[in-house]
């Protein structure tokens, strides 16, 4: 079947891997003599072990790590789960019609709240996508889940809850950044963890790129 007639590829752009090797500091195609010709505006990433860097300062810049506390111990968060039910359901007191900053409530969804048993940290390293550190958390009993669930991380908790409320799914993995929301005060909007991540990483990335740009320029007088 050609890609043009394949309904999957009509909605999912095809991605390819171009093997390369590094020789004398230059990117050389692994197959053939010349690199393929690409559109100028395309974006690509080079994935290498940190040990591949010859310059220790450059390696330290791209490997620089920082952790920031997103939310403190005791914070209450809400997770959204899509199920095949006729009406929205929620735990006691959850304002379904509250304004959301990014992702609105799903048309058929249940909401489960939980508390952090320790501070929640965001781990950032170089240009890699930030990740959440492990954090013990426990669900708050409500009409969706009457028996509390505990987990050592938000990812694990999403999986456990999904197994209980999304029984028709084959896979119970989820996205903690787009499924989990926090409200600092009753008058504030619910904010996704993705917003927290974006805010913190923007500051981290700006500083990182400034340092990389500075390191790439020759010293004054050279």
How many residues are present in the chain? 222
Do the Cβ atoms of 157 and 151 come closer than 8 Å?
yes
pLDDT at 120: 97
In angstroms, the CA 109 to CA 36 distance is 47
Tell me whether residue 159 is in a domain: yes
The distance from CA 188 to its chain's CA centroid, rounded to whole angstroms, is: 23
Tell me whether residue 60 is in a domain: no
Sign of the dihedral through C-alpha 95, 100, 103, 104? positive
Each of the 222 residues of the chain gets a pLDDT tens digit; together they read 445 555 545 566 788 888 888 888 888 888 888 888 888 888 888 888 888 888 888 888 888 899 999 999 999 999 888 765 433 344 433 344 333 444 445 555 778 889 999 999 999 998 889 999 999 999 998 777 888 999 999 999 999 988 887 777 777 888 899 889 998 877 778 888 999 999 999 999 888 888 887 877 766 555
| Count of structural domains, the chain | 1
Tell me whether residue 55 is in a domain: no
Q: Please give the structure tokens belonging to residue 64.
A: 């620089």
Domain that holds residue 92: 67-202
Tell me whether residue 163 is in a domain: yes
Gyration radius of the chain's alpha carbons: 23
């Amino acid at each position: 079947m050609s890609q043009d007639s394949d309904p999957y590829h009509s909605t999912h752009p095809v991605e390819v891997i171009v093997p390369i090797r590094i020789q004398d500091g230059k990117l050389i195609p692994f197959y053939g003599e010349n690199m393929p010709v690409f559109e100028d505006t395309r974006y690509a990433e080079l994935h290498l072990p940190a040990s591949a860097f010859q310059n220790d300062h450059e390696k330290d810049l791209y490997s620089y790590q920082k952790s920031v506390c997103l939310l403190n111990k005791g914070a209450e968060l809400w997770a959204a789960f899509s199920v095949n039910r006729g009406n929205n359901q929620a735990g006691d007191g959850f304002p379904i019609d509250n304004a959301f900053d990014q992702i609105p409530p799903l048309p058929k969804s249940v909401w489960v709240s939980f508390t952090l048993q320790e501070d929640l940290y965001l781990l950032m390293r170089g240009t890699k996508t930030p990740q959440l550190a492990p954090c013990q958390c426990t669900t708050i009993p409500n009409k969706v889940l009457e028996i509390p669930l505990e987990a050592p991380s938000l990812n694990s908790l999403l999986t456990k809850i999904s197994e209980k409320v999304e029984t028709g799914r084959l896979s119970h993995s989820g996205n903690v950044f787009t499924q989990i929301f926090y409200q600092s005060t009753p008058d504030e909007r619910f904010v996704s963890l993705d917003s927290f991540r974006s805010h913190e990483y923007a500051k981290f990335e700006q500083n990182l790129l400034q340092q990389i740009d500075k390191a790439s320029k020759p010293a004054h007088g050279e």
